[in-house]
Structure 1
Amino acid sequence: MAQNIKKSAKDMVKAALSTVPAISVEDALGLVDNDTHVFVDLRDGTEQSKTGTIPGAVASSRGMMEFHIDPESPAHKPAFNQDKTYVFYCASGGRSALAAKVAMDMGLSPVVNLSGGVVAW
């Protein structure tokens, strides 16, 4: 019997986008060398090698992000333990919106989503 999916990925992204604050590429460009912001690249290594990363970004694939944020996890990344604003991004903004929502639910703050992702960058 087929599964009865009650909420589509599109619906989940839409809900995340309505919850997570967004930042435009234009506004984010000026924050790359700003020590009050951390850019978080949620794409996998293959995507990063094809299109590059934003300078200084922390790599945290969508599948490992929760473990990188959690200070009790053996996979914790100290970059997530700072009093800074976290700018999440992916290819186009959907995965990063979902990830930013989860990060906010975990208590990471402040978190923003880069509108349009690397495609817009």
Structure 2
Amino acid sequence: MSKLKMSSSQMVNDARERIEEVETADLIAQLDSPDVVVVDLRDIRERQRSGFIPGSFHAPRGMIEFWVDPDSPYFKDIFAQEGKKFVFHCASGWRSAITTATLQDMGFEAAHLKSGFSDWVKQGGPVEMPEQKS
């Protein structure tokens, strides 16, 4: 395989230089704010296995650009809310950094949870587990 023009780690680093990063403790403190919308980009299997931030909205990484675009047939109304601060997260902050930079390029303002869900759990942030189907 030939060398890539840019590594994934370089993409993450470049994104982090130009987006807002939210520290875990700050998001824990803001969790009950009606002005904050937490968006979980992880795969549904990650949410089922590890749980999720209470009240978070699940938006799979593969669809997010389409879900935030009002001209897309896949647009989700949650992203039309004015005056909200959208904070995206994944497991470790890599996918959410790239996602947030991409959305910013589209004109959608957002931030991301710098150290991801794994740090959220480590710092004692509340976690809700999905209901088990019988």
TM-score (norm 2): 0.85
Report what 1:74 is aligned to.
73
- Alpha-carbon RMSD: 1.0
Alignment coverage as a number of residue pairs: 119
1:34-68 Cα deviation digits (max 9, x unpaired): 11111010101001111111111111111000011
* Aligned ranges 1:81-120 → 2 under 5 Å: 81-83=80-82, 84-109=84-109, 111-120=110-119
Structure 1 gaps of 5+ residues are none
1:45-104 Cα deviation digits (max 9, x unpaired): 001111111111111111000011011212111111112111010000000000000111
Structure 2 gaps of 5+ residues are 121-134
CA displacement at 1:107 relative to structure 2: 1.0
DSSP-derived class of the 1:22 partner: strand
CA displacement at 1:4 relative to structure 2: 3.7
Higher-Rg member (1/2):
2
DSSP-derived class of the 2:39 partner: strand
Q: Output the amino acid matched with 2:92.
A: S
CA distance in 1 between counterparts of 2:3 and 2:114 reads 31
* Aligned ranges 1:1-121 → 2 under 5 Å: 2-83=1-82, 84-109=84-109, 111-121=110-120
DSSP-derived class of the 2:117 partner: helix
